[in-house]
């Protein structure tokens, strides 16, 4: 199946700073999803990207899919304490079988 | 709102015991999944099902089996629990037409002693 690597594994930021997590693959991806898991919680679907070069925004979150469809990024502008958690990228295949990255855990210092 | 429920939030079992983890979803989703989550390893797919009585192996099926007798219910079975199966187990479901959008249950933290 398709494999994805996420970097960094951990990121500590001061509240108000920006944050970016990257998802990379050695092969062309058909799609990519992003999930957020709050501490003690379960993953929650955020968005899916399917088109080359696609950019989508959700308030302070910006999601990008690379032109070659081999990488994706999630950028948070001006982080808040509510942004803490682990952000996962995933690739979906037939019947929704998804392969998840290892996640980036974000901590925000007030 | 989609609701995915899991039978137990915490479970402690002994090595060699047979363990059943139950998952129920209330939104008529065709697809259901079982993952385990371990620190630093992300979510790893154990089994999934896209229809009643259908099952497909995921990436780490060894030591596990599943059952889907009804559309809303997907059970994960550990035939003989071992300490290396101590983990967080997450169930998820999705619609066939939006298979990529998975809804997760709260998880069961299983400890095998």
pLDDT higher than 70, residue A2: no
CA A73/CA B17 separation, integer angstroms = 43
Sequence spans of domains, chain A: 5-109
Q: What's the pLDDT tens digit per position in A8-45?
A: 999 999 999 999 999 999 999 999 999 999 999 999 99
A96 to B48: CB separation less than 8 angstroms, yes or no: yes
Class for the domain spanning A5-109: mainly beta
Residue A13: Cβ-neighbour burial (10 angstroms; 0-12, 13-18, 19+) = middle
Provide the pLDDT for residue A28.
92
SS3 for A66? coil
Q: B37: which strand partners?
A: B43, B88
Overall average pLDDT of the B31-55 stretch: 93
Quick one: DSSP state of residue B113?
Answer: -
DSSP assignments along B20-80, one per residue: EEEEEESS--SEEEEEEEETTTEEEEEEEESSTT--EE-S--TTEEEEEEETTEEEEEESS
Q: What's the pLDDT tens digit per position in B67-97?
A: 999 999 999 999 999 999 999 999 999 998 8
CA B17/CA B71 separation, integer angstroms = 27
A63-to-A21, A58, B14, B109, B112 alpha-carbon distances in Å:
10, 8, 44, 31, 39
CA distance A82 to chain B (A): 19
A43 to B102: CB separation less than 8 angstroms, yes or no: yes
Provide the pLDDT for residue B54.
92
pLDDT higher than 70, residue B2: no
**With contacts defined as CB-CB under 8 Å, which chain B residues touch A44?**
104
Please state whether beta strands B64-70 and B73-78 pair in parallel, antiparallel, or not at all (unpaired). Answer: antiparallel
B50 to A88: CB separation less than 8 angstroms, yes or no: no
CA distance A103 to chain B (A): 6
pLDDT higher than 70, residue B41: yes
Domains along chain B? 1-7+29-94 (2.60.40.10)
3-state helix, strand, coil in chain A (%, to 5): 5, 55, 40
- Tell me what the pLDDT averaged over chain B comes to: 94
B42 to A101: CB separation less than 8 angstroms, yes or no: yes
CA A19/CA B17 separation, integer angstroms = 45
**With contacts defined as CB-CB under 8 Å, which chain A residues touch B45?**
97-99
**With contacts defined as CB-CB under 8 Å, which chain A residues touch B41?**
102
Mutate to test the interface with B, among A6, A91, A98, A99 (most CBs of B within 10 A): A98
Quick one: DSSP state of residue B7?
Answer: S
Under 8 Å between Cβ of A88 and B43: yes
Whether the CB of A1 is below 8 Å from some CB of chain B: the reply is yes
Q: pLDDT over 90 for what percent of chain B?
A: 89
Provide the pLDDT for residue A18.
98
Provide the pLDDT for residue A77.
98
CA distance A57 to chain B (A): 17
A97 to B56: CB separation less than 8 angstroms, yes or no: yes
Nearest CA among A91, A82, A105 for reference residue A21: A105
């Amino acid at each position: 199946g398709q494999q994805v690597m996420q970097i960094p594994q951990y990121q500590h930021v001061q509240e108000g700073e920006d944050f970016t997590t990257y998802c990379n693959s050695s092969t062309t991806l058909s799609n990519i999803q992003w999930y957020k898991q709050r501490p003690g919680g379960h993953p929650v679907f955020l968005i899916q990207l399917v088109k080359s070069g696609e950019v989508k925004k959700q308030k302070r979150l910006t999601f990008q899919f690379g032109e070659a469809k081999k990488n994706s990024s999630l950028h948070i502008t001006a982080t808040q304490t509510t942004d803490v958690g682990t952000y996962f990228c995933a690739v979906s295949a037939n019947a929704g079988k998804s392969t998840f990255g290892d996640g980036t855990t974000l901590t925000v210092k007030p | 709102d989609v609701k995915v429920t899991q039978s137990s939030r915490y479970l402690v079992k002994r090595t060699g015991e047979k363990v059943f983890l139950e998952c129920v979803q209330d939104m008529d989703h065709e697809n259901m999944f079982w993952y385990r989550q371990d620190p630093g390893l992300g979510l790893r797919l154990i089994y999934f099902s896209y229809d009643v009585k259908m099952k497909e192996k995921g990436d780490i099926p060894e030591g596990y089996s599943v059952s889907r007798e009804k559309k809303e219910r997907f059970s994960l079975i550990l035939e003989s629990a071992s300490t290396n199966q101590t983990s967080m187990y997450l169930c998820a479901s999705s619609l066939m037409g939006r298979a990529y959008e998975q809804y997760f249950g709260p998880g069961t933290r299983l400890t095998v002693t």
